[in-house]
Structure formats: structure tokens, C-alpha cells
Structure 1
Amino acid sequence: MTLSSVAITTEQEQLAEAVTQFSARHAPIDKTRAALDSIASGELPTWWEEFTAHGFHAVHLPEEAGGQGGTLADTACVIEAAAAALLPGPLLSTATASAVAVLADSSATALLGELAGGATAAVVLPEDSAVRAARDGAGWRLSGSISSTLGLLAAQKILLAAHAADDAVVWFALDARSAGSGMVVEQQRGTDLSTDVGVLTLENHPVDTAISGIDTERARCVVAALTACASAGTVRKGVETAVDYIRTREQFGKPVGSFQALQHKAAVLLVNSELASASAWDAVRAIDESIEQHRLAAASAALMAVCTGPDLTLDALLMFGAIGYTWEHDIHLFWRRATSLAASLGPVTRWGREAGELARTLKRSTAINLGDVESEFRAKIVTVLDEASKLENETPTDDLRAPGLAYGSQRDLLADAGLVAPHLPAPWGVAASAVQQVIIAEEFDKRAMVRPSLSIAEWILPTILNSGTDEQRERFAGPILRGTQRWCQLFSEPGAGSDLASLVTRAHRVDGGWLVNGHKIWTSSAHAAQFGAMLARTDPDAPKHRGISYFLVDMTSPGIEISPIKQASGESHFNEVFLTDVFVPDSMVVGEPGQGWDLAVATMAVERTAIGNYVTNDRSQALRRMADADGPDHDSVLQALGGIEAHTTAIKAMVLRETLRLVQGQGPGPTSSIAKYAMVLLLRRASTATLGLTGRLAMLEVSDPPVIKPYFDMPSELIGGGTAEIQLTIIASMILSLPRK
């Protein structure tokens, strides 16, 4: 079992694997343990020269400087893989310093050449520096100290941000080998045993020239992004190791991985590890975006990948029981690294506040620069959407939560062009590939056009198209796509919720069709639907998962009684449906009788994917409104808002990363199941923060901003598509391959 890394292309995966193999050959953990004292003193590993000869440290540096000419995303793969292997030494500090140096103008040319040649380095941001810079003729004099810095003792070059008399930030490249000329580097006892940590004191230290052109905000983003990659790799390795352990460790004659409590704990760890990896990847890819977008991505990565690292690695350690807490077990070395990395970025409040301030007016962009890829396809989409943007949908939505349910002239045009559900095959869609779907989404966003929604039919239509008859496809596909036909899903029963195979609704064959008797529950939109997709048992003697058939039911049929279920919110989005001798003709059976279970599984797979897309909804409306006003709790509101937006950004990045992997020709991964539970975590996080900070507004059912209504609507999302516990069980068994009972 291997969790996702920040690598998304075949070349990046090969690069990461090369680093992993190098680490296994030259720096296995037993050798690292034997060298802890030399590592702490800043002594370079014996393999550093060979490592740099391969160019691993300089993947992102320009070729003219002696680097490999790759991207920051390529170097992120190196850092993440090295962290997962617990590769000791100055890689992270050196790669981060050189990535910041790349931001400079030609004044950094000599420095980049040295770094590409294998010189080690560390970078010090303004907030970690109390160094003052004073003019001294044509040069400078530096005095002051810096905070504890990772990799400082091993560094031959120190890229330092100092403060000039006018409080301007001035960058310098110090030669650590000139210690003695007013420069003192002191060793400290570090938390992370796989790298050194030290402090620097300068007293009238002379420097000839400054490094110019570095955007300090961009530098801060680069540091946070690469630190997030190292933390994500550390967390990933901890989770993988713990899951491998519980898969085989036995107690009471069974693998402990078969115990539900540990399965769910492992599944939650997987979800959080994937969120960490996705947010780290997103912060790296933002290097080419606006500084505001990069700041939001970096702050999100700091919160989701770095600040969470210690707790996630500790949870992995605890899965080993007492053995994981021993000095001899390697898991504590990863725990130490995660803790040190989190500390290196400063207080978590700093990043929460920054993300919250940005989130007041900014959303993380998911746009992808595709260049001229599929230019002809894009031109066709532009033509259709330009025409559609001039039309209206004359029939508005009856659900304010779903503006995409409106229909009329605009939607008719989009349906005819195959753009209502473009992933479907022609003539219903355009069989859009992953990259074509990205293009379509971008063009809709450019025009601020609401994309049409199929609502529940989004989960049902693919089943009809794939397994239905020509008559069924002809009768239902067009009206569904045009929005004139609403559907519901008649699956759940009072005694068969998540365990659908236990359903007892019966269908008995009669002349020309079937008579159905039973009781369905939790049926969304049954009161507004013209048709429903229903499961009923047609062979009571068949095994549990067999003998079930898939029916399409006219909701106006005699014998159907719909009874709304009033929710705690006071709304009635769900219904009970009673079926008494309801006749369903043979023409409304999908597939063959007895194939219903397989068809239902396909339907539910689409459903869970669709639910993961709920991240597009705004979960922070109340907090965003509060953040716009001053008050004693303003800072707490900003930090809460920042945490929610960071979580939202991580889910978006997870889905986007999966899309890009599909674009690269890779097969689909487990993202939909993971995103579903990640949404559960987000909903609970958002509701807890909102209730805790809006105070007395939660005493009122109606308020401005709304607090209680979205809170009381939340269970429908938490339960829809399967409870969180069922989802965790699916993740544990299907993704982590943990043993069943």
C-alpha cells in the first residue's frame, strides 16, 4: 500500500523513486542512527558529493547556472521522497535556499552557481532575523542574531534577510566559512535527529554586496511550500508503516487490522495524509500564479501539511502500541522530524491569521494553464458558450441551494451541444476526456455561467445509458439533460440503509411486468420527482447480493404514497415512499432481472464522486461576514476562517491533482472515497467554528448571517451517500487492504 505523493507525472515518479533508491543504498536508517552526533554537528554526509553529482539538489535550478532546468514541482518530489526515507543532512535547507535565490535578479548568479555545484545552504526569513544592516561605504555591516535554524551548521552559504535602517528588507548571501570575522555559528540540540540546528550571531560583519530582486512574500511562500512537502513525506511514511504493521500484527488470534476501531483510525490517517500531500503540491504549483494566490496556497499548506504533521505522526506511532514509543523503533524519528518542521514555520496562529485574512476576499484558484492543448476543442466550446450566454433559462430553480436546476432556452442549447454532462458519450455528451472537462469548466467559469445540474439523475443516467434499452435511453436521457424531468433514488429502506443488500421490498412477476410492495425511506426529492430508480428483490431464494433487480418507476403510478419526513431543520427534503401493488412494466427493468446489485454499486460510485464536489459550496459565509467587522474575537474569527479555507483548498487540490493524473493517462485512483470523508471532516470543522464564534446568533433560527439553517441542514450531507463510518470501512478495506473480520 503506497499513499499519494506530490509526484503526478511519470517523470516525477521516476525521479522520486531514484531518490528513494539512493537513500536505501547510502543512508538506511541504521546508518543514520550511527551518525547522529556527526549530523547534529553539521558534518556533511559521506554521500553528499555523490548525491549532488546526480543533480538531485539542483533539479529546479536553471541550466545556465549548472542546474537541471526543471521546475519547483520536480524538486518538491525530491524533497518529499527524501523525507519519507528519512534522508539526513542539509537537502531541505539547501534546496529551499536555492529556490529562494532563484527569485533574485542577476546579483545571485554567483550564488546559484555555487549551490548548483554542491554547496550547502540555509535561508533565514525576515521574521526569524533580528539582524540589522547598515551601510558602510559601498558595502554593508551586519549586526544581530537569528532564531534557531535547521541546517545552519552544515550550511556553507546563508541566504539572510536583514533589516535596514528604513525597515526595508535587504537580502545577503553570507559565506559561513568566513566565521570569525564578526560571525559566530553555535550548535543547538535539535528535536529532529536527522538534521542539525543552530543560531547565528553577527557583530559588525562586513558584506560587500546585497542580493536584490527577491520578493520577500514569494520567498516566504517557497519556504512554506517546500517545508510542507517534507512534512507530507514524513507523515506519509509514518502512516504507511503503521498500516503495514496492523495488517500483520496479531492479537486474540486475529490481525489487529481487522478490528474496526483501528481500521477507522487508519482510514482517518490516510485521509489526512492525502490532504497534507495535496495541499503541499498545491503550494508548489502556485509558484507561477499571483502572489495573492501563492500566499493562500502556502498558508493552506502550512496549516494542512506542516502544522498537522506532529499529531498525525504521533497517531501513527500510537498504532504500534508501546513498541512504537521505544527508542529502538524508527517511528519516533519521523515524529521528531514532523515536530521540528512544524516548529520551523513559527506559530500556527500566524498561518491561520494569514489564510483567514486572504480568505475574506479570495478563493483558491483551480485553473490549469493548458497552453494550446486541445485548442480546436476549446474553440468549439467557446463558440457554444458564447451563444448560450446570450440566452436565459425561463424556468427558475425551485431549490435555492441548486441554481443549476433551472431550465429553458440556455439549457436546451447546452444539452443539444452535449455540454450538460460532457463526460457522457455522444449524443448525450461529448465523451470529454479529463483535460477536455477541465477546459469546459474553465470556459464556464470565465463567463460566470451556472453549470446545469442533473441533481440525483446525475447518479442514475449513466446506469440507464450503460445498461438500459434503446427505448429507455430515448425516453429518459433527453428530458433529464434538458432539466424537465426530475428523479429520485428508491434504494434505502428502514432495515436496509447502508446495507442495501438487506432490502426486503419485493417485486412479483405478473403479466407484462411486476407488482412491487415495500417501503422506502430517506428518499431525497421524491415529492418533486417524476421518476425514480428503485431496487427490489425479485428472487427471495437467491443469495443476499443476488436476486435484486433495478427498476425505473413512474412516481405517479397508482399505489405510490409519498410521506415527507420533517427534519430537525424544519425542512422536508427527505421522504418515505410506500409502494402497494405498484405495477412496473417489463420495459422499465434496467438490465436483466437479478443484476440490480451490480447496477446499484455503479450508481453509488457515481454518487460518492458527486458528493465530493460539494466543496464548491461556501462553508464560511457567517465567519467571512464576521471577519469583515472589528470586535474582540476578530483574530479568532480570522484563524477559524483560515483553517476552514485551508481544508477546503486541500480538498480542491486533491480533486485537481487526480484530474491532472488522468490527463497524464494514469488510471483513476481512490480520490472520490477519500474526498467524501474529507468533506465530513470539513463540515464538522466549519460548523464547530461557526457555532463557537457567532455566539448568540445560534439562539435564532433566522439570522443575518445565517447560522442555524446551514447547521441544521448539515446532517443530510453527512449521511448522504453513506455514513462516515461506512465510508471509513470502505477506505480501510478497499484502499488500505486491511483484513476483514
Structure 2
Amino acid sequence: MLAITIEQEQLAEAVTQFAARHAPIDKTRAALDSIAAGELPTWWEEFIANGFHAVHLPEDAGGQGGTLADTACVIEAAAAALLPGPLLSTVSASAVASLADDSAATLVADLAGGATAVVVLPEDSGVRAMPDGEGWRLTGSIGSTLGLLAAQRVLLAAHGEDGTELWFALDASSGLALEQQRGTDLSTDVGTLALQDYPAQAPVTGIDTERARCVVAALTACASAGTVGKGVETAVNYIRTREQFGKPVGSFQALQHKAAVLLVNAELASASAWDAVRAIDESIDQHRLAAASAALMAVCAGPDLMLDALLMFGAIGYTWEHDTHLYWRRATSLAASVGSTPRWAREAGELARTLKRSTAINLGDVESEFRATIAATLDQASELENETPTDDARAPGLAYGSQRDLLAKAGLVAPHLPAPWGIDASPVQQVIITEEFDKRGMVRPSLSIAEWILPSILNSGTDSQRERFAWDMLRGTKRWCQLFSEPGAGSDLATLVTRAQKVEGGWLVNGHKIWTSSAHVAQFGAMLARTDPDAPKHRGISYFLVDMSSPGIEISPIKQASGESHFNEVFLTDVFIPDDMLVGEPGHGWDLAVATMAVERTAISNYVTIDRSQALRRMADTDGPDHDTILQALGGIEAHTTAIKAMVLRETLRLVQGQGPGPTSSIAKYAMVLLLRRASTANLGLTGRLAMLEDSDPAVIKPYFDMPSELIGGGTAEIQLTIIASMILGLPRK
């Protein structure tokens, strides 16, 4: 859903309710012939009276004075309801007209008043403009255009004699030669236009064509996202209740995982569409990158996503009577309307050679005193150094010393934590802190694995545990590891067998842990062990803090395919853990572990900031037979990366608006899995003989061989899909 404010949610709901009252799908089906002929729906005037079409237009022109992001919510909701007619084309035309100077004032006022319209971009126009005294003559044609027959105004880009692009506003009532076509999308008309020495008034001026192209792509992405989102919703509802072999088909793991993947891709589509709309106030290059990403992730991907949704219904979804094919048709038509996938991938790739999508948020003067305080602290910290450098080039935030000490004391290492460990920063304040770090180019301190452990100590530990461990974690002077997984209990931690037996003054632990990151450099670890073998498997587990120098602990590095040893096996033989190292009550470890893993998955989703395209970006700077293919692959990866960034940013803004946390962390985790596989496939397939070498410039194999740790960390992809299916989609368990 594109809405991030309560007001936007209410606006979208109002459109949904309007559609339910006036344009249920059975009525749309009955009117397909009139829709194809460009006749306006009977409810159009009432729709206009509600102002839904003009939310983004200024009040002095007759609009509602809202933003394009507000109107995007209208477009999405209308698409989800399969609202027929020229809404998308009209809103796109008025949004482009709003980019013009005063020469478009009359046109904008007409559109705010309810006139329908289309916008024709230069690449879709074969019309030439010739000066004729004080006016112009237009000759040429435009091809298949959505909403053209229903349009009362045509905002047309024509080509001048000197190759310039000129914009003209045409009145459809003045005898335009239109031809109806049989369209793929049955809920919108399609037509062509031919002009021969057509007399036109002075052109509309002030329209930035690149910005216009971005606006059209962004709004089309919103319609596609709404279409796909509805497809996911109806497919999931169907498999939740449809039974075979005496069980809901939604309990079958194959369908659960298919539905979960579909949801992830639909959320990526929605996030990228939202990002392209919000970019209208940014630089043109940032807007171009956001729009190209949305075209790829939301529009071009739409037909396949809707096809996947349709197939979840089985054969019934392919029948004419089933409504899903109408959405499939719409998604297909929208994708065709923006042009070819390679074109957008190429554009994104060209931009990605030197540009990254910005996630900056303009908060204005919000929390100005807080910002000033943070700025002063960071200015002071920037004068200091961290005398102990990081031992991991991938994690510069592990360095510690005077600078980090100051930041820890100020509560800025983990500002979301309660005082005195943090400053209990609100979502808005956390955004401000991030912005101020970025302004100075300062590396933010990293808690590394301690980020997943510290909340458990603060929330459930004793005062003594908090005093003993929290400050060292924040200052970075002590490293931690997480002793959870076992040879027979990887993602399914409830089956672990490491045993902690109660003895005088503490616990005696015997067991075997595996895949323990950083155990070889950690001073302490957080460990799960079974303290009550007779209790239900989730209830007999306890959460301990372990001194990794304790007698009986043996650490055996696991050499990875890369030759590195970031993981370890840890053997525990009669290891004594004092009572004061138990966190919480005995048997309550499972709840602490679940909270820890939730933090872990959120942290892993932040890996999107790591550049996955270094090799392709380097290769895109040189000519060669594969140059265009490399650009397209780079564009696809950047579009996927941009969508994940937008997903996380949108969640942040929802929190800023006071809304509760959503399922973004789980969805982003699997979206990262898709990105990693996509990037690795492109890198291996396009860098050629470089993959024969472990040490190449640019690096190919090293990041490739490091990839499994990211794919598995925080739970395998299959476990993550099961979580999405059951916890987010609510599909039945077996």
C-alpha cells in the first residue's frame, strides 16, 4: 500500500468505497463495449465532484491542493478496484501540465474542472510541428494510446524543425481524427490519432520533458502496483479457503512459498512506485533513476506477477468468467504502454554508473533543537579519533577509541535504546541522527552481533548484567558471538540439545554449537541451552551469557569456500556458567531468542547499503560487445536495490507518522535474497574470465563466495518464506 499517512489511507479507502458503490466489476463487465468506445462511465461526474482526479492540483486552479503522493494513493486504489475509464491518463496529463508555466493555466483549470485527457510523450509521437504565421501546423500520427478515445484534451509533444520538442494542448472536440482499437485492457479504451496540417495555438512552455517522462512512469507504476497488489490479495484469499485432499491448499508448503514470493515482489513493486512519486521534488537525475527503477520493478514486472497470481487459482483463474484475467490484462497493457524493458534497464544502468538512489528525507524544521544538539555532539566527536582500528574491512564501524567513547556517553551509538544506554530516540529523531552523521561523512559505530544481544540484556537482564556488559558493548571494547545454531538445530532452534544442568552456584553446560560467527574473536557469547528436557520443546530452553575464555570451551574455525573462516564450531564440555549469567527466568529463553532473531533479520535487511554492482559498474565504463547487456544488468540490480531501500524508508516514514511497525523486516530479508542471487548471476555471467581468478580487479569471486553467509544468516530463505506465509499472509499451518 502506497499510503504512509492516516490521511492518505482515508483517501484510498474513500476511492475503494466509491468503486464498490458505483463500479463493481459486474457492472464494468456489462459496459465493456462502451468503455472500449471511449464513453465516460455514468458515475464519472460524481467521481469528479469528489475531487479524486485533482487531489494534486493547486487550489487556485480548482484542485485539492495535495501532493502527487496523495494522488498516487488514488491511482493505486482505483487500479485495485479495476475502476474503468480514463483516470490514469487524465491524472498523468494534469500532472505533466502542472510542470508548465502560466501558458498551461487554462489547460490545468479545465482538467481540474473535470475534463478528461491524455499525455503523449515525444517517444510515442510521430507528429511534426511547423510554424504557420502566428500559429502552428501539426502533421503526423501517434500510435496506440490508452484513454485517447475518452480524452477531451490531448497534451501532445511534437517535434520541431530544429529537433526541439514542443508541447501542444489540443481540444478533442475540434475534429481530431481518432481511430478505435481493440485493446488488451478491457477497462480502458485504446486509440490512435492522425493529424494533417492541424492548426494549433501557441505551444505550452516550461515542461521539462525528462521530468514529464518520470511523472508518467511513476503514476503508471502506481496503477500497476495496485493491480498486482489486488492480484496477490485475491489469490491468497483463495488458497486460504480452497480445499483439496481434505486440507486448505494454502497449507501446502509449495503454495505457501509461492504466495510469499509473490507478496515480496508485490511489495517491491509498491515501494518502487512510491519512491518514483516522492522523487518529483528531487534533482532530475534522482527522479530519472527512481522512475526507471519503478518502471522495471512495478510496471515491466507486472504481467508476470499477475500471471503467477492467476496460476494460483488453477484452471478456474484462466476462465473468462473469473475476474483475475481482467487484472492480468490491465497489468499487461500498462507494461506495454511504457515501452520496452531493455530501454528502462539501460537508462537505469547508465545512471547507476555514477549515481545511487538517495534515501534522504526532508524534515524541514522538525525537531530543530534536537538537531542542533546532535550536530554539536557530532562536531565534537569529529575532532577525535578511534585509536583501535577495525579488524574487519567489511565493518569499519567496529573501530573504537576516544570518538566512540564520546558517542556512547552521548547515547548515539544505539540512540533508539532507553537512557542511559541510548536517548530513547523517536523514529523522527533517528532519521535526524542518520542525516547528521551522513552530512559529516562519519562512520557510525557498529555493535555487530551485540546489536542482536544487547536488547535482551537491557529488557530481561539484571541490573548487574546491564552494568557489566552494556557499556562495553556500546564502547565496542568487547566483541560478542551468538551461540544458537547446532548441527541438528539450525533454523529450527526449538530442537536444540545442548544441555545446561543445574549445579551449586550455576549451571554445567555440555553441547556443540555451529555456524557461530566471530566466536574466534569474541570475549563473550549469548547461548541457548536446554535446562528442562521434560518441558515442551519451546519451554525448556534458557538464555545464558558465556565468558568465551571459560574452561571447557573449544573453538574450531570452519574454513569456508572463500578460504576465510568467519564461522566456527564451538564445543562445550562441562562448562560452568554462574547463576548471574542467566538472563531472565529458566525456561524463558525461547521468547528472548525470538526477539533476538527479529532484531537480527532487521539488521540483515540493512545489507542493502553494500554495493553489489562494483564489478559491473567498472565494466560499464569500458566499451565492448557486451556493453549494452552489462548496462541493462546493472540497471536491473540498481532498480532492485532502490526498491528495497524505498521499502525500508517507507516503513521509517510510517513510524515517523506514528503508525505501528509492519512486516517490512521479514519481507526485506527475502527481498535481499532475491537481490543477492540476481546480482551474483549477472556478475558471473558478464565478467567472463575474471571469475577464473580468486583475486581479480574488479573483485568477482570473493563477494560471490561470501554470499552464502548472507543468504543463510538470520534464517534460511525457506524458513523466511514460511514465516511470511504464516505470520504475514495468515495461511493455515499443516
- Select the residue among 95, 102, 106 that pairs with 1:106: 102
Correspondence for 1:544? 537
Correspondence for 1:387? 380
- Take 1:551 and 1:10, find their aligned partners in 2: how far apart are those partners? 43
- Take 1:265 and 1:223, find their aligned partners in 2: how far apart are those partners? 31
- Take 1:69 and 1:601, find their aligned partners in 2: how far apart are those partners? 46
Matched, 1:490 2:470: no
TM-score scaled by structure 1?
Answer: 0.99
- Take 1:190 and 1:163, find their aligned partners in 2: how far apart are those partners? 27
- Take 2:18 and 2:502, find their aligned partners in 1: how far apart are those partners? 66
- Select the residue among 130, 133, 144 that pairs with 2:140: 144
- Select the residue among 674, 684, 709 that pairs with 1:681: 674
Equivalences for residues 503-518 of structure 1 within 5 A: 503-518=496-511
Deviation at 1:109, TM superposition (A): 0.5
- Select the residue among 1, 6, 9 that pairs with 2:5: 9
Deviation at 1:409, TM superposition (A): 1.0
Match of 1:358, as an amino acid? Answer: L
Equivalences for residues 43-442 of structure 1 within 5 A: 43-179=39-175, 183-442=176-435
Match of 1:220, as an amino acid? Answer: R
- Take 1:184 and 1:636, find their aligned partners in 2: how far apart are those partners? 40
- Take 1:489 and 1:730, find their aligned partners in 2: how far apart are those partners? 21
- Take 1:460 and 1:40, find their aligned partners in 2: how far apart are those partners? 60
Deviation at 1:606, TM superposition (A): 0.5
Residue 373 of structure 1: SS of its match in structure 2? coil
Residue 577 of structure 1: SS of its match in structure 2? strand
Correspondence for 1:695? 688
- Take 2:94 and 2:540, find their aligned partners in 1: how far apart are those partners? 64
- Take 1:153 and 1:480, find their aligned partners in 2: how far apart are those partners? 66
Correspondence for 1:722? 715
- Take 1:308 and 1:29, find their aligned partners in 2: how far apart are those partners? 24
- Take 1:263 and 1:65, find their aligned partners in 2: how far apart are those partners? 49
Deviation at 1:692, TM superposition (A): 0.6
- Select the residue among 573, 590, 614 that pairs with 1:580: 573
- Take 1:208 and 1:658, find their aligned partners in 2: how far apart are those partners? 47
Correspondence for 2:592? 599
Correspondence for 2:527? 534
Matched, 1:666 2:659: yes
Q: Is there any run of 5+ residues in structure 1 with no aligned partner, and where?
A: none
Deviation at 1:716, TM superposition (A): 0.2
- Take 2:151 and 2:722, find their aligned partners in 1: how far apart are those partners? 47
- Take 1:150 and 1:684, find their aligned partners in 2: how far apart are those partners? 36
- Take 1:389 and 1:351, find their aligned partners in 2: how far apart are those partners? 41
Match of 1:366, as an amino acid? Answer: T
Deviation per residue, 1:599-658 (Å, 9 max, x gap): 111111100110011001010000010111111111111110000010000000000100
Match of 2:152, as an amino acid? Answer: Q
Deviation per residue, 1:174-228 (Å, 9 max, x gap): 111111xxx3111111000000011111100000211000000000000000000
Match of 2:117, as an amino acid? Answer: A
- Take 1:105 and 1:11, find their aligned partners in 2: how far apart are those partners? 30
Deviation at 1:390, TM superposition (A): 1.3
- Take 2:514 and 2:554, find their aligned partners in 1: how far apart are those partners? 12
Residue 527 of structure 2: SS of its match in structure 1? strand
Deviation at 1:510, TM superposition (A): 1.1
- Take 2:590 and 2:322, find their aligned partners in 1: how far apart are those partners? 46
Residue 241 of structure 1: SS of its match in structure 2? helix
- Take 1:448 and 1:354, find their aligned partners in 2: how far apart are those partners? 29
Residue 294 of structure 1: SS of its match in structure 2? helix
Deviation per residue, 1:351-408 (Å, 9 max, x gap): 1011011111111111111011111110110001111111111111100110110111
Residue 195 of structure 1: SS of its match in structure 2? coil
- Take 2:282 and 2:719, find their aligned partners in 1: how far apart are those partners? 39
With 703-712 and 539-548 compared, the bigger mean Cα shift is at 539-548
- Take 1:397 and 1:632, find their aligned partners in 2: how far apart are those partners? 41
Equivalences for residues 619-638 of structure 1 within 5 A: 619-638=612-631
Deviation per residue, 1:136-171 (Å, 9 max, x gap): 011100000112110000000000000000100000
Residue 534 of structure 1: SS of its match in structure 2? strand
- Take 1:228 and 1:457, find their aligned partners in 2: how far apart are those partners? 40
Deviation per residue, 1:455-496 (Å, 9 max, x gap): 000000000000000110000011110110000000000000
TM-score scaled by structure 2?
Answer: 1.00
Deviation at 1:509, TM superposition (A): 1.0
Match of 1:29, as an amino acid? Answer: I
- Take 1:417 and 1:634, find their aligned partners in 2: how far apart are those partners? 50
Correspondence for 2:437? 444
Match of 1:261, as an amino acid? Answer: A
Correspondence for 1:641? 634
Residue 158 of structure 1: SS of its match in structure 2? strand
Residue 147 of structure 1: SS of its match in structure 2? strand
- Take 1:583 and 1:401, find their aligned partners in 2: how far apart are those partners? 34
- Take 1:147 and 1:582, find their aligned partners in 2: how far apart are those partners? 77
Correspondence for 2:611? 618
- Take 2:363 and 2:308, find their aligned partners in 1: how far apart are those partners? 39
Percent of matched pairs sharing the same residue:
87
Correspondence for 2:20? 24
- Take 2:503 and 2:14, find their aligned partners in 1: how far apart are those partners? 66
Residue 687 of structure 2: SS of its match in structure 1? helix
- Take 2:294 and 2:143, find their aligned partners in 1: how far apart are those partners? 22
Deviation at 1:277, TM superposition (A): 0.4
Residue 148 of structure 1: SS of its match in structure 2? strand
Deviation per residue, 1:276-303 (Å, 9 max, x gap): 0000000000011111110000000000
- Take 1:294 and 1:427, find their aligned partners in 2: how far apart are those partners? 41
- Take 1:409 and 1:345, find their aligned partners in 2: how far apart are those partners? 54
Equivalences for residues 462-473 of structure 1 within 5 A: 462-473=455-466
Deviation at 1:38, TM superposition (A): 0.4
- Take 1:442 and 1:637, find their aligned partners in 2: how far apart are those partners? 33
Deviation per residue, 1:9-36 (Å, 9 max, x gap): 0000000000000001111000000000
Matched, 1:568 2:561: yes
- Take 2:513 and 2:408, find their aligned partners in 1: how far apart are those partners? 32
- Take 2:425 and 2:611, find their aligned partners in 1: how far apart are those partners? 28
- Select the residue among 496, 502, 521 that pairs with 2:495: 502
- Take 1:584 and 1:65, find their aligned partners in 2: how far apart are those partners? 73
Matched, 1:520 2:520: no
